[in-house]
A and B are shown apart, each in its own frame.
Chain A
Amino acid sequence: MKKIYTLFLSILAFLFLSFLPIEASAANVIDHYGLLTEQEIHELNERAQQISEKYNVGLYIRIVPNKEGKDSIFQYAEYIYKRDGMGLGEEQNGYLLTICMDDRSYLTTAYGSKAHASFTDFGKELVESDVESNLRSGNYKGAMDAFLNQSEYMLEQNELGTPVDVPGATPITEAELQARKQRQRNMRIGITAGTSPLASLLICLGLRRRHKTKGLKHDASAYIPKNGLNLQNVKDIYLYSTESRTLIVDTSSKGSSGGGTSINSGGFSHGSGGHF
């Protein structure tokens, strides 16, 4: 009984901690590579904070020397977004520009329904296009300014109800966002209702197995004496090789070329990214 009480209290403590609001305290602009001067970082930070607070969508820039072991910049961007606690509000709305100096790659990433509505696939392409041209010309500060300026414009257009999207595409409406939330909620109910009884049943069956202790032995490994294994012929002959290739972009978050925003299963949407 003592164990059950302890387990129950642990779960209550976990739930209490879960309810505590998460403060987004991530710095807006961080340069781990030294591409910008201190003064430039200070200026960019002030401007990013200003826009973030105005639209309640965090704008972030991360310049890093490498992807810390991640396979792609897509995975890395999602990883640091969560790790560094980026995003504002309950939904952690935010838009991140990641610049990786080991392969000179860049990518923009959005999270949260307001960010997805503001930064459509088309919108992200526009931001990235502007950023890339500045990066290629070596105007790094200019690239960051372009990111903030374009982002502010996208956020403003979304506030006006006309988010930047492919010409002729229908902007994401509030109803569509609600429908998406409903779909997510249904999925959550499905996962919870399906997984919980299954996990409980497995644990209960495991506990029930303790009631059965007798059984025939099928192995005799305990009775092989020291040096009881004597191999006379050991050969590993190489025969042939096969190779399979998977397009990384397709398995990440790239969406269709139509209007709207393509959101992956992790809740992120990405631009195309690229190299400079």
Chain B
Amino acid sequence: MPEQVTNYKCIRCGGPLHFDAKEQKLKCEYCDSTFTNEEIETLYKTANEAAIEQSYESDHADRLQWSAEEAKHMRAYSCPSCSAELLCDENTAATSCPYCGNPTVVPAQFHGALKPDYVIPFKLDKKDAIKALYNFYKGKVFLPNAFTDGAHIEEIKGIYVPFWLYDGTADSDMAYHGTRTNSYTSGRYHVTETKHYKVIRQGEVRFKHVPADASSKMPDEFMDALEPFNYVDMVPFQMSYMPGYLADKYDVTAAENSKRADVRMKNTTLDTIAATAHGYLTLVPEVERVHLSHDRIHYAFFPIWMLTTRWNGESYMFAMNGQTGKMIGDDLPVDRGKFLLYFLGLTLLFGIVLWFLLLR
């Protein structure tokens, strides 16, 4: 059941093209020619449509060769460059051929309801990601020296991760008990006067593009921590941004994911409305009603660099926002000896300083 895939090839020399994050263009790996996304999209549009039709027809016939379980989770395609027949995950949308290394896109994963509305193209490349990882180690004083020296990067890959973006409105009805105090001296008395108020706030808070990753393979803790993405760079989706990177289509539906976005919107509504009650020393909520409604849901691809290192037999995963360069990772190991040394040293220093301060 080989599916039709697309290799974007150089118009001049036929070499494979990949999306260059620095130049924001498709670039030939051999002759360094560059092409805009629009040029390549126009050229390949007709060819792709014909190929997809052919792919769907042949897919039905070939499926008989696979068991139902296998067919459910795997897809096969033929590399247009070296003709190797390759297997990959059912959600794979962009990858590279492990035999010839050509960047490859599976157009069927981007059609119909699967087509993302937006994409934020990669702005930072592999070198930036490696540099960011070593900078990430800096300032972590309890990191074992052997970790920095010995943990080598095992794998590094640029991935377009699918995200759902939720637009919504939160209608709120809040009431608080607030207090304001005024202190003054009267004769030989220190007087504190406390005024009590009922504080009422009703209104709505609108949200635009609250993200939640739509891939079950990507840990939510990683994807959330990589925010924020700058939506100024977000453009309508084009397949020509994909070559050179991996991409999966979503495998968590918008409905399944909406709970994550809803919790965030509700928490923020409570905080935002409470922040409009100014000048109160205390503000105790008495009524907190929030009703959320989704306006629109968008499907988008965001750029992430994933890096894996290994140290002491354990694997450590890191991720970098491919647009902003923000780096996060697994919890780093702590050198207990260093921790104890710092603790004792600081205790001694504080002890000496405090002793002399109290003497004065």
A and B interact physically = yes
Q: Spell out A's residues near B (CB within 8 Å).
A: 7-8, 11, 14-15, 18, 71-72, 188, 191-193, 195-197, 199-201, 203-204, 207-208, 210-225, 228-249, 251
Q: How far is the CA of A192 from the CA of B354 in the complex (A)?
A: 6
* Chain A residue, CB-CB nearest to B349: A11
Q: Say yes or no for B192: interface residue by CB 8 A criterion.
A: yes
Q: Say yes or no for B153: interface residue by CB 8 A criterion.
A: no
Q: Say yes or no for B360: interface residue by CB 8 A criterion.
A: yes
A208 near B142 with CB under 8 A, answer yes
User: B212: shortest Cβ distance to chain A, in Å?
Assistant: 9
Apart from A210-B139, A232-B202, A236-B197: 13 A-B pairs, beta carbons within 8 A: A7-B349, A192-B355, A204-B346, A211-B334, A217-B225, A220-B264, A224-B272, A233-B200, A233-B202, A234-B200, A235-B199, A238-B195, A240-B195
User: B89: shortest Cβ distance to chain A, in Å?
Assistant: 24
User: B284: shortest Cβ distance to chain A, in Å?
Assistant: 13
Annotate B221-236 by CB proximity to A: 1 below 8 A, 0 otherwise.
1101101100000000
A231 near B203 with CB under 8 A, answer yes
Partner of B225, one of A196, A199, A214, A247: A214
Chain B facing A: main interface SS = mixed
Residues of B within 8 A of A7 (CB): 349
Residues of A within 8 A of B276 (CB): 229, 231, 234
Q: How far is the CA of A249 from the CA of B188 in the complex (A)?
A: 7
* Chain A residue, CB-CB nearest to B360: A18
B198 near A224 with CB under 8 A, answer no
Q: Nearest 9 pairs between A and B by C-beta?
A: A231-B203, A200-B346, A233-B202, A196-B350, A220-B264, A217-B224, A211-B332, A235-B200, A213-B328
Which of A71, A193, A201, A234 has the most B CB atoms < 10 Å from its CB? Answer: A234
A211 near B140 with CB under 8 A, answer yes
Q: Say yes or no for B205: interface residue by CB 8 A criterion.
A: yes
Q: How far is the CA of A220 from the CA of B209 in the complex (A)?
A: 10
Q: Say yes or no for B45: interface residue by CB 8 A criterion.
A: no
Residues of A within 8 A of B202 (CB): 231-234
Residues of A within 8 A of B333 (CB): 211
Q: How far is the CA of A8 from the CA of B353 in the complex (A)?
A: 11
Q: Say yes or no for B261: interface residue by CB 8 A criterion.
A: yes
Residues of B within 8 A of A210 (CB): 139-140
- Size of chain B's interface in residues, with CB distance under 8 A? 78
User: B233: shortest Cβ distance to chain A, in Å?
Assistant: 15
A242 near B356 with CB under 8 A, answer no
Q: Say yes or no for B343: interface residue by CB 8 A criterion.
A: yes
* Chain B residue, CB-CB nearest to A22: B360
Partner of B339, one of A15, A204, A224, A240: A204
User: B178: shortest Cβ distance to chain A, in Å?
Assistant: 7
Residues of A within 8 A of B207 (CB): 220, 223-225, 228
B140 near A239 with CB under 8 A, answer no
Q: Spell out B's residues near A (CB within 8 Å).
A: 139-143, 178, 185-186, 188-211, 219-222, 224-225, 227-228, 261, 263-265, 267-268, 271-273, 276-277, 327-334, 339, 342-344, 346-360
B210 near A220 with CB under 8 A, answer yes
B190 near A246 with CB under 8 A, answer yes
B192 near A200 with CB under 8 A, answer no
User: A198: shortest Cβ distance to chain B, in Å?
Assistant: 9
Q: How far is the CA of A235 from the CA of B175 in the complex (A)?
A: 9
User: A216: shortest Cβ distance to chain B, in Å?
Assistant: 5
User: B171: shortest Cβ distance to chain A, in Å?
Assistant: 10
B141 near A207 with CB under 8 A, answer yes
Q: How far is the CA of A57 from the CA of B194 in the complex (A)?
A: 45
* Chain A residue, CB-CB nearest to B346: A200
A214 near B208 with CB under 8 A, answer no
Residues of A within 8 A of B142 (CB): 204, 207-208, 211
B352 near A15 with CB under 8 A, answer yes
Residues of B within 8 A of A208 (CB): 142, 334, 339
Known: A72-B185, A225-B208. Contact between A192 and B351, CB under 8 A? yes
B198 near A215 with CB under 8 A, answer no
Query: Can you list 8 contacts pairing A with B, beta carbon distance less than 8 Å?
Result: A208-B339, A211-B334, A231-B201, A234-B202, A239-B197, A245-B189, A247-B188, A248-B185
Partner of B206, one of A217, A224, A231: A224
User: A244: shortest Cβ distance to chain B, in Å?
Assistant: 5
Q: How far is the CA of A79 from the CA of B339 in the complex (A)?
A: 41
* Chain B residue, CB-CB nearest to A187: B358
